[in-house]
Amino acid sequence: MFITLKDLAYWLFILIIFITPSEVKEGMQRFVDTLVFGVVITTICSSIPSLVSWFQTLLDMNDYQSRVSDLEYKIDLFTDRINALELSKKDS
């Protein structure tokens, strides 16, 4: 059985936690809190462009749907006019 670097780092971390005085632990805790806060802020900031793109896609879909609805309305009007024209031809 070999001692890997991961095992050594784990036991060193445990040793540091139990041996260090509480003042140092508070400093380490502040450092970890700052690090976690920085990672969270960085993650949020890096996800903003994809969120903007997603909302833009939703707006484009709404615009597309309104154009489709407009075209469907125009096709219905055109079909009604053609039917009316055919009826008037049959009546004549």
CB 28 within 8 A of CB 20: yes
Going 24 to 26 to 28 to 30, the CA torsion angle's sign is: negative
Q: Express each pLDDT in 22-68 by its tens digit.
A: 777 788 888 889 999 999 999 988 988 888 888 888 888 888 888 89
Predicted TM-score (pTM) of the model is 0.42
Sole residue written with tokens 């502040």: 30
The pLDDT assigned to 74 comes to: 94
Centroid of chain to Cα 27: 35
Closest CA to 17 of 37, 2, 32, 6: 32
Give the pLDDT band of residue 1 (cuts 50, 70, 90): low
